[in-house]
Chain A
């Protein structure tokens, strides 16, 4: 449709030019008349095509079940099915073609701090294919730090991460989710996977790059964490912020039983995840298994338990030049989450208690390192927009089990709206080699675009 319009416009312009040269020796008046005639013809043609285009687009919009003309200035075709919606304000519908269409601010928004008067409508009806665009959102994560930390210092201020998400249904059998993370050091596909939603046998299958199902914190993106940082045990044993995040295939199935929600997940990855796993040769894949049990205790209280296991090769092999010796890391984890949220006051009060215990058995030249660590945390929502939390940390180090770091953090979070939050966190870490870090972290997070689902 669009191509034919351009071809038409181009040929009309060609005729115009050709006519100009061919009749150059005629009288100027005849020439002018001829040009005027051509211009009129061209305008008429343009008008005709424009009208047909508008009509077609209106039909398309109606056929796709979009409220025709509700958000656009297109004229609905007379035989299109009309939903019994109130007609759009006359001034929006009666807008003559060719002018910037406008629309009224929704009732009530005016004067309440929202804009007032007529608003321009962006994206005309010509953009029917936009309905298939994925849901797009961008989340900004601004992090600042003040205080003393010689072991693992943070910048005083940084746009820690800008995460763009693109999510849509692929076809009747699958959906796709992409999370692209723009950090201070570059761009990374944090996750990008296909989910097959309706495989027989109740198998939920994901293919792509994804955060693995090891425990709870490892599965969470930064912006849904209840803290501005990640627990020590995550940093020391499970790859920190990036975590076990790798390309692979994941299969999860609900295990039928009469008592509780039980889900088993099996995942196989290439074997490269931060400093946890390293595939030195193709085929040195890593595995993650997770078993999750969930039970409602009452309508407001529930408990979530998980057991995790991960196995893969580690980077100790790099030390061996040509001799072949395999070093592996085995990780074991237990996680528990207790949630309380009274249904009738669910937007005002809630409590989440979390804990994870992780054991790391890492084989390396100096021998097997058996380290372990945990965190325990509680977050209480004491008003609609306010949350306070505490966290206790303790963890050995993966490469040297004799070193143990301990620490704790207190957080206070304020949500101006569902789409932004401000957080302050006081953190103290006693590093194994004698250094003590005292820091104040502050964080702004803000989200624009599609309304994402709330995490559970």
Chain B
């Protein structure tokens, strides 16, 4: 018993004392990491778990992520149950009291954001893998980007009160740059307002609402359920009826069904990254919209459809 106590004390002493230096931030996705980088600047170090070209619903809970979380001061999560399949065991095994759900270092970035597709009644899994707390792909709206930035900056200020002025100034700067960029993006899509599109998964409702797109259907028959022949046929007919010429596919989905839909309907199939890191060129939050809006506008111009 005594030796156990001595061992315990030795282990306690071995725990590295944490310096009050840079905040060590881990974000579950590259989008959140990009926004944290904007507001944190050189006062923080940022790492992320899921890559931008990876389906964020299905990330493997690799032990190497436990090592990242073990040393984190702040964990920023998308929330709305996006990470429910993989984050809880990682947090649990992190041995890090600071980032447990509800602890000081745990930031749910969705708390101030506008969340769409909030179910209002009894939901069942007959509807597919629905998210009971609303659609978690909310970061694809620059207005939400600002709200996420505020959520993160507030947490940084709370944990590092001495740097509050820096974080607030960086947040203000981020927001005003985002405002300017948003005007540019809105102007680029303004001529094509109301363009009808189809997306693979429900990843783009916030994007479509902000930039005036009309999503008339999905390649997935229900969220998380792979395409079925009957649904694909129905979708093709509907697209022909409504003259839909754009299909957006997230980089992590198979292109076979979208391509055959494209062949049948003459629609363009665009691999559209929903996240920072979704393709090589998209290295920050601004470039994500730059890339997606360019891709979309070019395609709409080419098809001439509205």
Interface, chain A (partner B; CB < 8 A): 65, 67, 70-71, 83-86, 88-89, 92, 102-109, 112-115, 118-122, 169, 172-173, 175, 195, 197-204, 253-254, 261, 263, 292, 294-296, 299, 302, 304, 339, 341, 343-348, 384-385, 417-419, 448, 451-454, 456
Closest to B230 in A: A113
Chain A residues closer than 8 Å to B70, beta-carbon distance = 202, 254
Interface centre among A71, A88, A120 (most CB of B within 10 A): A71
In the assembled complex, 9 residue pairs joining A and B whose CB atoms fall closer than 8 Å, in A order, are A83-B111, A103-B119, A103-B120, A120-B121, A169-B101, A202-B15, A261-B63, A456-B60, A456-B89
Q: A201-B14, A203-B95, A451-B81 are in contact. Are A88 and B120 (CB under 8 A)?
A: yes
Of the candidates B55, B66, B113, the one whose C-beta lies within 8 Å of that of A261 is B66
8 A Cβ contacts from B93-140 to A: 93, 95-98, 100-103, 111-130, 133-134
Of the candidates B55, B61, B97, B111, the one whose C-beta lies within 8 Å of that of A197 is B97
CA distance A121 to B64 in the complex (A): 42
User: Is there an interface contact between A296 and B54, defined as CB atoms closer than 8 Å?
Assistant: no
Q: A107-B117, A108-B218 are in contact. Are A347 and B125 (CB under 8 A)?
A: no
CA distance A307 to B125 in the complex (A): 40
Of the candidates B103, B119, B222, the one whose C-beta lies within 8 Å of that of A71 is B119
Task: Give 14 A-B pairs besides A120-B121, A198-B97 with Cβ atoms closer than 8 angstroms.
Answer: A71-B120, A84-B113, A86-B116, A104-B121, A109-B128, A172-B103, A197-B92, A197-B100, A254-B67, A296-B62, A417-B224, A456-B60, A456-B61, A456-B62
In the complex, whether B12 has a CB less than 8 A from a CB of chain A is yes
CA distance A199 to B93 in the complex (A): 11
Q: A345-B254, A385-B226 are in contact. Are A454 and B95 (CB under 8 A)?
A: no
Chain B residues closer than 8 Å to A119, beta-carbon distance = 121-122
User: Is there an interface contact between B53 and A201, defined as CB atoms closer than 8 Å?
Assistant: no
In the complex, whether B188 has a CB less than 8 A from a CB of chain A is no
Chain A residues closer than 8 Å to B11, beta-carbon distance = 201-203, 253
Closest to B15 in A: A201
Of the candidates B96, B113, B252, the one whose C-beta lies within 8 Å of that of A344 is B252
In the complex, whether B51 has a CB less than 8 A from a CB of chain A is yes
User: Is there an interface contact between B252 and A345, defined as CB atoms closer than 8 Å?
Assistant: yes
Chain A residues closer than 8 Å to B116, beta-carbon distance = 86
CB distance from A134 to the nearest CB of B (A): 13
> Interface of chain A, helix or strand or loop or mixed?
loop
Chain B residues closer than 8 Å to A456, beta-carbon distance = 60-63, 89
Closest to B53 in A: A344
Closest to B221 in A: A112
CA distance A266 to B286 in the complex (A): 49
The 8 lowest CB-CB distance pairs between A and B, nearest first, are: A103-B121, A198-B97, A119-B121, A201-B11, A294-B63, A103-B120, A261-B63, A109-B127
CA distance A197 to B126 in the complex (A): 35
CA distance A419 to B12 in the complex (A): 42
Chain B residues closer than 8 Å to A113, beta-carbon distance = 126, 221-222
Of the candidates B61, B91, B100, B101, the one whose C-beta lies within 8 Å of that of A454 is B61
CA distance A3 to B130 in the complex (A): 38
Closest to B12 in A: A201
